[in-house]
Structure 1
Amino acid sequence: MSIYIESMKEEYAKKILNWTYDKPYEIYNMDNDEENMEELLDGSYYAVVDKKENLIGYFCFGVSAQVPAGNEYGVYNNKEFIDIGLGMRPDLCGKGNGYEFIKSGLEYANKELLEDKIRLTVAEFNTRAISLYEKAGFKRVMEFWRKNKEGDFKFIIMELYLR
C-alpha cells in the first residue's frame, strides 16, 4: 500500500467525522459537529491517502494529539517531544496495515516537521495499537486515568527517539 500525507481538506474532514469504530474502540469516534470540523482543519491534522486519493486515515501533531486529562498528571510537561495522534479508517483497522501507516507518520514528523522525539497517548485496552507502537520502537514511560461520564480509562504515554 503506497500512502501519502497531505494537508487536511474539508472533504476528508467530513469523512473522518462520520467514521464509526466498533466497541471497544468507540471512544475514538468523533462527534460530527462544527467544533471537531474546525479542529480537523486547524492545520495540525494531515490526511493520509493512497495514490488514488482514497482517504486511509489521518495524523495530528501537537496539542491536538494529547488527551486533556493528561495535563492534570503532568504527562505533557516535557516540551522536547511532539505528540502524534492518528486514526485509520475503521474498515482498514486490524488488517495488517498499521505498521506502514505509523511509519509514514513518523517519517513525516521527522522529515517535514523536523522532529525526532515523538510521544503518543493510547488507551490501555487498545492492545492491538500498543503492540504496533512497540514494534515501531515506542517505549512505555507513564500512565494516567481519565474519568468521565463514558467511564474510567487508563491511558499509556509512549515515547520514541528517532535519532
Structure 2
Amino acid sequence: MSEITLRINGKQRRVTVEGRTLLVDLIRDQMNLTGTHVGCDTSQCGACVVKLDGDTVKSCTVLTATLPEGTEITTIEGVSTGDLHPMQEAFSKCHGLQCGFCTPGLVVTAIDIVERSPDGLSASQVRKALKGNLCRCTGYQNIVASVLEGARAMGVQVTEEKETV
C-alpha cells in the first residue's frame, strides 16, 4: 500500500492504493465518480478516458501508484462547474449519444480534440482523432456533428467539407 496526493476535479485528495490499483478503479470505487466507465478491460473502447495532467489517457491502463504527487486528474464530473460544458450541450443538441455508456469518454476526448485544434477543425480530423473511442450504438455521424458543434461553441473555427460517397 502507498499513499499519494492527487488533484481530482480541482480538489486535493490523499488516497491509499495498492500497487495494482488502476486509476479507473480509484476514480470509481474510492472517489465514487462513476461517470468514468469500464467498457472493455483491454484499453480498446475509450469509455474510461480522463485527463491526466492535461493529456487524455485511458484510465484502465494507468497504475495509480505510479503517478507523481500532485497529478491533476479531470473526469467527466470535472469538465464543468454548475452548467453543462459546451461540449456536453452539443452532444445533447446533436443527439451524439444513445445508450450513453461511451459518452463520458467521448466528451472528455472531444474537449481535448478541440483544445488541441485552435486553428480549426474539420469532420475528417474529428473522425481520425476519435479512433480510440468506440460506440456500439451509433454510426458516429451524430458524434462527429456534436464535436463540431461543441468546437463552434468553444470558439474554434469549423471547416466544412464536401461529403464524398
- TM-score by length of structure 1 reads 0.34
- TM-score by length of structure 2 reads 0.34
Question: Which one has a bigger Cα radius of gyration?
Answer: 2
Higher RCO (CA < 8 A, seq sep 6+): 2
Higher strand content, 1 or 2: 1
